[in-house]
Chains A and B, each alone.
Chain A
Amino acid sequence: DTGVSQDPRHKITKRGQNVTFRCDPISEHNRLYWYRQTLGQGPEFLTYFQNEAQLEKSRLLSDRFSAERPKGSFSTLEIQRTEQGDSAMYLCASSFTRDRRNEQFFGPGTRLTVL
């Protein structure tokens, strides 16, 4: 396994700007998850995909957030008109439903700072 990768690792932006993050899951993993982690808190679920289908979105995911996984491989998470409250670590994870491991593997995260 080459592991889950995320890009960029850090992003600083000004309020009102749009940002996009990318996640590359472990090869052959059919499920991909996005979580958000604010300072001093545990990760909170945002959305997840099976292949290219978005299965569920959390109520945390406002209309300014959109995620896609167009070919069932990498995924992008876009935040439009960023707000200071969007500052957080955005974590991506992936898993494979056809094995018995029942494990999600996490990437290193993208830390977003909105000034």
Chain B
Amino acid sequence: AQSVTQLGSHVSVSEGALVLLRCNYSSSVPPYLFWYVQYPNQGLQLLLKYTTGATLVKGINGFEAEFKKSETSFHLTKPSAHMSDAAEYFCAVSASNSGNTPLVFGKGTRLSVIA
């Protein structure tokens, strides 16, 4: 069965500092991995995804993530935090090797950005 662990329920960074949100996964099939962002009282917006191929994936708003099979990790990074990045971030793994099957989400990490 698939599972996701997000280390740190709350991360606080200064504006302009590096953002690092951690995600480790467990999957019985080659994983499809996703990062979503959620602003208050809104749905989820896809930041980036890993399916196959290049292990470093770039997404929207300057975010990127690296798939490391040996570490079963898919950490999200951004070189310089902006106030608008403050939100809840969710890592997810697909139930099969497709993005068109149910997703298993982590519990989320709330990112605060301090001016």
Contacts and interface: CB of A to CB of B under 8 A. Distances in A.
A31 B100 contact: yes
B107 A40 contact: yes
Nearest to B9: A40
A42 B23 CA distance: 13
Contact of A95 (B51, B90, B95, B99): B99
3 tightest A-B contacts by CB? A102-B99, A42-B105, A106-B43
Q: Size range of the interface on B? A: 20 to 34
A104 interface: yes
Interface residues of A, number: 28
A101 B99 CA distance: 8
B4 to A, nearest CB: 8
B100 A102 contact: yes
B49 A103 contact: yes
B32 A102 contact: yes
Interface of B: 4, 9, 32, 36, 41-46, 49, 51, 90, 92, 94-95, 98-108
B102 A45 contact: yes
Contacts, number: 66
Interface in A80-105: 91, 93, 95-97, 101-105
B44 A91 contact: yes
Contacts of B41: 108-109, 111
A74 interface: no
Given A4-B43, A91-B43, A104 B103 contact: yes
Contacts of B46: 103-105
B44 A43 contact: yes
Contacts of B106: 42
A56 interface: yes
25 contacts: A41-B107, A41-B108, A42-B4, A42-B106, A42-B107, A43-B103, A44-B105, A45-B104, A58-B102, A93-B44, A97-B98, A97-B100, A102-B51, A102-B94, A102-B98, A103-B49, A103-B99, A105-B46, A106-B43, A106-B44, A108-B42, A108-B43, A109-B42, A109-B43, A111-B41
